[in-house]
Amino acid sequence: MPGTPPTRFVYLGPEGTFAEQALRTVPAAEHGDRTPARSVGEALDAVRAGEADAALVPLENSIGGAVGVTLDELAEGDPLVITREVVLPVEFVLAGRSGVTPGAVRSVAAHPQASTQCRGWLRDHLPDATVVDVLSNGAAAAGAASGEYDAAVCAPIGATRHRLTVFADKIADHPDAVTRFALVSRPGPPPPSTGDDLTSLAVYIAHDRVGALLSVLMELAVRGVNLTRIESRPTGEALGRYVFFLDCTGHVADVRLGEALRGLRRVCADVRFLGSYPRHRWSTAAGDRPTPAPAGLSDADWADAAAWLARLRAGELS
Amino acid sequence: MPGTPPTRFVYLGPEGTFAEQALRTVPAAEHGDRTPARSVGEALDAVRAGEADAALVPLENSIGGAVGVTLDELAEGDPLVITREVVLPVEFVLAGRSGVTPGAVRSVAAHPQASTQCRGWLRDHLPDATVVDVLSNGAAAAGAASGEYDAAVCAPIGATRHRLTVFADKIADHPDAVTRFALVSRPGPPPPSTGDDLTSLAVYIAHDRVGALLSVLMELAVRGVNLTRIESRPTGEALGRYVFFLDCTGHVADVRLGEALRGLRRVCADVRFLGSYPRHRWSTAAGDRPTPAPAGLSDADWADAAAWLARLRAGELS
Amino acid sequence: MPGTPPTRFVYLGPEGTFAEQALRTVPAAEHGDRTPARSVGEALDAVRAGEADAALVPLENSIGGAVGVTLDELAEGDPLVITREVVLPVEFVLAGRSGVTPGAVRSVAAHPQASTQCRGWLRDHLPDATVVDVLSNGAAAAGAASGEYDAAVCAPIGATRHRLTVFADKIADHPDAVTRFALVSRPGPPPPSTGDDLTSLAVYIAHDRVGALLSVLMELAVRGVNLTRIESRPTGEALGRYVFFLDCTGHVADVRLGEALRGLRRVCADVRFLGSYPRHRWSTAAGDRPTPAPAGLSDADWADAAAWLARLRAGELS
Amino acid sequence: MPGTPPTRFVYLGPEGTFAEQALRTVPAAEHGDRTPARSVGEALDAVRAGEADAALVPLENSIGGAVGVTLDELAEGDPLVITREVVLPVEFVLAGRSGVTPGAVRSVAAHPQASTQCRGWLRDHLPDATVVDVLSNGAAAAGAASGEYDAAVCAPIGATRHRLTVFADKIADHPDAVTRFALVSRPGPPPPSTGDDLTSLAVYIAHDRVGALLSVLMELAVRGVNLTRIESRPTGEALGRYVFFLDCTGHVADVRLGEALRGLRRVCADVRFLGSYPRHRWSTAAGDRPTPAPAGLSDADWADAAAWLARLRAGELS
């Protein structure tokens, strides 16, 4: 029921990965059910089927980029909406069973993306160890716990779950790496506008021509709507046919974003609304702060223009 | 009173010029008072002062271009609005007193713009006559009637009023020349939208930069609003400071033009609304016909987009 | 012959008007022949026919706007180019024969545009005098000199030529009013680029649609070329068919303007080049100063980009 | 040495994957050395170090989208250029050891992306089999060959290499799925322009604002350059900082693309050229055919405009 806080949560598993860690930052989830899913698709389908109220899935990583499967799953099937974003620092640790001494590590289990992000550290500190690819950060921790490997590159929560000893923490080469997750629900009234929101869209353009994408950007620009992200994904029909995933500043309830959305609806082959939600304040970097609206694009300017038009239509010009 | 048809009309005099002829095509004027004014400013001030209900003044000529004084007078002072446009073929005649034989014409009175438009004809048919500049078409006819000149280049109505004999008609070099007049009133509810209307605006931009004018055109383009005319006029402050007079397709009551107007209000230093009125069907040339709205810009597209946005805001996505 | 300074000058007459005054600010003209012409067309045709080397004609007035006849004459017939602009303060004087006392002035001759510009002064100082329209500022002075009228509103040079006494000077309501004149010659290599030049163009667009004008402005904007002026003029074919007169910052020899011109050539139905010439520094107002090129649009940026492209094409990427 | 055909090739291994199959479509590779690399980074580094002349790596898949690691590796480190694209149909087969009967298959090894692409087929034909994730298509085939799994979802070449029996071919749900590979070399003169080429770029914009991306698209649009692909990738600095990978129609040696590249160089924070190469004709779909240049954007239009500008600069206007 719209408005009822979700109590049954599903997340991209297995247990002990960053997704579980992210979900635990959501207050309602701390006291609700938390069930791991084997894939993003399974997590989202559980929400679609009503077996869960909300799913926590990864959207993008500051090193690895978009999580394509999440975007694809959101763009297809029954509509779902993002109601919250969670941005989590990606802190990798090197961990192993108690009894293993760090100096004796010869084999390290790691998900390929994790070993990529820790490449410099591994080369400097474990130049002679063999890094073995495994299928998830959770599987790496499990492999170290079972003794199959001497150590694992994994999330702190993975070390905790599998009772591993942390040999070194913050071993990623980019100390500021983060992963952005989305909490996804069945459609319902969006959370209220906070004045610093994002709106996610999947936009299909009729032709893969620069002119068509230019039209999309013009619809946003004339309403002073900024893009914080644009991703293209193939539509699966043919190479060269794309769907664009846009994150825009503003909320569907805002006048200016509403007008921009109507514009996109008209000029695009299709637009799927993926939710309006408060922006996560993940950084104090200047570029991430909401910037004051440029001249003519503040809420007051929109109200003034609407009032002026109403006067024109009533014939009141003086 | 808004809605009351005007009965007291003023027009750019003197009597016997094209403006009077244009006014007589307005049904209500045929039975109302029709008073000539000595200048465009005097005509418009009579309306502003309530001494007349409507003024008929020239806006532009297909040969001579914009009538700057009319634009300036509309852009300054108390607001006035155009409620109707009248497009009149400019048919010049050569006329003189009865008794004068065309072959004996040695002096021809003409307003400079009139003699310019008939230059080819005068050179071919009256190569030896002296063309004398006078201050209006009406003054030319009066001068021929008084015997000061042998003949006049004037409007048909001028020949009639001054009881002149028409020696030759349709003597303009461009047979299709027309003048466009505006019927101007005090502000009130605009005439109803007909589906083929024009809206006139005076737009001030903050800087004389290409970027500022580009912004104005983008506001129109993204709403599918066409320009049928753009004129720049100096603002009187300094060279390089302009006001732009725009004629746009659409009516202030139309959704799409309303949105474009609100956009202009926001991005421009100032916008003065100069009226919405039915388009005069002056020509059957293809380019002058209303063209079907491009994809995404029909009224149905606007209604569909608005309904879609309402559904999004209500959380109804399926 | 290109490169030979002009010695035979023609200007829009009669003698004693602002055009003559403007011509005398051109050094070469001070020692050359200076012949008045009866019209702008006659002046330009004298240059086309080789009877004069250069013509001085009015382009626009800060109060009255563009001088349409000049624009039309430049856009049609054999090509001519502007080689210099002259901007002259428009200082009107009230002058009369010696012996007339200002307090006794009952009739004032004035060109309609002149009386418009001095309307406030005349109303305040000569409320009871009759203002009589005449056909030029020179004709006003001549009428006062002959005694037909008690006084004239005219240019200072007109008072001097007709030996009139100046009763009052600087009587225009806008003290900063200026007229901009062009010195026009037969085509030849343009004067050298000075770093602060203007280029004038007549641009025909295929359709009178906002999209076509938008394309023109985009060609300029992406090359950082500013518009200092845009005028539309009817083409004489039909209402709604226009030629646009543009004044752009830059010189035809400049890389960036050259690229923009090539772009206009491609997207416009026709482009007529009307000359590149040094910008007249008529004002110290901030907006009239050449502004520093925005990021990416300086000459150094263009040179850097060209060198980079040359390296790419040679396969030198390191 | 530029111009010398490559003879030593490296490709994304292991043997028996689509990358090897793609490499064998390159004529020179058929007779040269072909060495598998363990990762895209290793393959590209071998070229950078001079140990190989060219590397064949995947760029994007019509189902899975961009191969992020390839884009990232091309954007960083010593410059490399794409000299050829290869587009390969992605045909998955189900294969197993001889002796295994298809009806007895209980476990299937598959790379997660492969099982995703064959999900429908697997559900319909092997509803009771367990699908086990492995790290590559080659590893799946190897696992079936070793008897660890009953069958594998793999590439045809993988079945051949591991002497597996093909139980079913073309089992992908999207029969038209393709993967696009790039042949990458050290910088050198690009292959000659063919009239139907693509140019790949990595473009960094100063701010993640819609206005900045709009500027990039405008630089392309005014030169009639189409985008066939746009991908954003995080720069690794922070979320919200992206590099855009663009594939544009045209060749670096083409006049129009050269001008667009110079424009991008000026307006972007940085542009990395990733090569110009002939377009692979992978499809007969209408949208993939080179479309005739729009009005004003053909090579002839560019030549005409350049010649016109040269005449203007020489003062030859007639």
Which helix H or strand E contains D155, and what residues bound it? Answer: none
Among residues D307, D252, D311, D216, the alpha carbon closest in space to that of D83 is found at: D252
Q: If you average pLDDT over every residue of chain C, what do you get?
A: 86
CA separation, residue A177 to residues A59, A62, D243, D245 (Å): 14, 6, 16, 21
Chain D, nearest residue to C306 by Cα: D262
Residues D168-176, mean pLDDT to the nearest whole number? 86
Task: Say how many CB pairs under 8 Å bridge A and B.
Answer: 103
| C222 at interface of D, judged by CB pairs closer than 8 A | yes
pLDDT tops 90 at residue A201: yes
CA separation, residue C142 to residues C56, C159, C164 (Å): 22, 9, 9
pLDDT at res. C284: 41
Q: Are D and B touching by the rule of 3+ CB pairs within 8 Å?
A: no
Chain A, nearest residue to B192 by Cα: A313
pLDDT at res. D238: 56
Distance from the B65 Cα atom to the nearest Cα atom in chain C, whole angstroms:
6
- Judging contacts by C-beta atoms under 8 Å, the chain A residues touching residue B222 are 215, 218-219, 222, 263
Distance from the A113 Cα atom to the nearest Cα atom in chain D, whole angstroms:
10
Distance from the C87 Cα atom to the nearest Cα atom in chain D, whole angstroms:
25
Do the beta carbons of residue A153 and residue A130 sit within 8 Å?
no
Choose among A65, A133, A230: nearest Cβ to D68: A65
User: Residue D63 and residue A180: Cβ atoms within 8 Å?
Assistant: no
Among residues B133, C168, C177, the alpha carbon closest in space to that of C154 is found at: C168
pLDDT tops 60 at residue A1: no
pLDDT at res. D287: 47
Which of B220 and A16 is assigned the larger pLDDT?
Answer: B220
Residues C71-100, mean pLDDT to the nearest whole number? 91
- Judging contacts by C-beta atoms under 8 Å, the chain C residues touching residue B173 are none
Give pairs for D65-71: CB < 8 Å, separation 24+: D65/A68, D65/A232, D65/A233, D65/A234, D66/A232, D66/D231, D66/D233, D66/D245, D67/D40, D68/A64, D68/A65, D68/D233, D69/A116, D69/D39, D69/D40, D69/D41, D70/D40, D70/D182, D71/D202, D71/D231, D71/D233, D71/D245
pLDDT at res. C133: 82
Which positions 33-72 of B are in contact with A (Cβ < 8 Å)? none
Q: Lowest-confidence range among A199-203, A266-270, D30-34, D163-167? A: A266-270
Most confident of A128-137, A236-245, C79-88: C79-88
For the four alpha carbons of C280, C286, C291 and C294, in that order, the dihedral sign comes to negative
Among residues C205, C174, C188, C171, the alpha carbon closest in space to that of C277 is found at: C188
- Judging contacts by C-beta atoms under 8 Å, the chain C residues touching residue D4 are none
Among residues B82, B177, B17, the alpha carbon closest in space to that of C239 is found at: B177
Residues C280-297, mean pLDDT to the nearest whole number? 58
pLDDT at res. B78: 93
Distance from the B70 Cα atom to the nearest Cα atom in chain A, whole angstroms:
19
Q: If you average pLDDT over every residue of chain D, what do you get?
A: 86
Domains of chain C: 1-89+179-189 (3.40.190.10), 93-168 (3.40.190.10), 191-291 (3.30.70.260)
Tell me which chains share at least 3 CB pairs under 8 Å with chain B. A, C
Integer Cα distance of B87 and B277 in angstroms? 13
Which positions 259-318 of D are in contact with C (Cβ < 8 Å)? 259, 261-263, 265-267, 273, 295-297, 301-302, 304-306, 308-309, 312-318
Q: If you average pLDDT over every residue of chain B, what do you get?
A: 86
pLDDT bracket for residue C200 (50, 70, 90): very high
- H helix and E strand count, chain A: 11, 15
Choose among A187, A295, A308: nearest Cβ to B315: A187
Choose among D87, D133, D214: nearest Cβ to A221: D214
Do the beta carbons of residue C150 and residue C94 sit within 8 Å?
no
- Judging contacts by C-beta atoms under 8 Å, the chain B residues touching residue A205 are none
Tokens 């995703």 belong to D116
Distance from the D265 Cα atom to the nearest Cα atom in chain C, whole angstroms:
6
Tokens 């979900």 belong to A23
Per DSSP, the residues of C206-224 read SSSSHHHHHHHHHHHHTTT
Torsion (CA) C180, C185, C191, C197 in degrees, nearest 10: 30
pLDDT tops 60 at residue C2: no
Residues C148-174, mean pLDDT to the nearest whole number? 93
pLDDT at res. D285: 45
Choose among A189, A215, A218: nearest Cβ to B315: A189
Tokens representing residue B195 in the block:
């589906």
pLDDT at res. D230: 83
Percent of chain A with pLDDT over 90: 44
pLDDT at res. C123: 85
Integer Cα distance of C231 and B204 in angstroms? 15
Which of C77 and D57 is assigned the larger pLDDT?
Answer: D57
Integer Cα distance of A54 and A56 in angstroms? 7
Partnered with residue C10 across adjacent β-strands are C35, C55
pLDDT tops 70 at residue A285: no
Contacts of C217 (CB under 8 A, 6+ apart): B210, B213, B214, B217, C227
Distance from the B66 Cα atom to the nearest Cα atom in chain A, whole angstroms:
24
- Judging contacts by C-beta atoms under 8 Å, the chain C residues touching residue B180 are 239
Residues A193-216, mean pLDDT to the nearest whole number? 82
Residues B277-290, mean pLDDT to the nearest whole number? 61
Most confident of C105-109, C170-174, D231-235: C105-109
Tokens representing residue B177 in the block:
């020349």
Do the beta carbons of residue D56 and residue D181 sit within 8 Å?
yes
pLDDT tops 90 at residue C169: yes
User: Residue A231 and residue D229: Cβ atoms within 8 Å?
Assistant: no
CA separation, residue B244 to residues C215, D109, D237 (Å): 18, 70, 46
Do the beta carbons of residue A111 and residue A92 sit within 8 Å?
no
pLDDT tops 80 at residue D286: no
Strands D93-96, D54-61: parallel, antiparallel or unpaired by DSSP?
Answer: unpaired
Q: Model confidence over A69-88: pLDDT tens digits? A: 788 889 988 999 999 999 98
pLDDT at res. A169: 93
Cα three-residue angle A209-A213-A219, rounded to 5 degrees: 145
For helices D40-48 and D68-75, the axis angle rounded to 10 degrees is: 30
pLDDT tops 80 at residue D243: yes
Q: Which of A74, A210, A215 best probes binding to D when mutated, by most D CB atoms within 10 angstroms?
A: A210
pLDDT at res. D237: 61
> Residue C104: helix, strand or coil by DSSP?
helix
pLDDT at res. C1: 45
Choose among C189, C305, C315: nearest Cβ to D266: C305
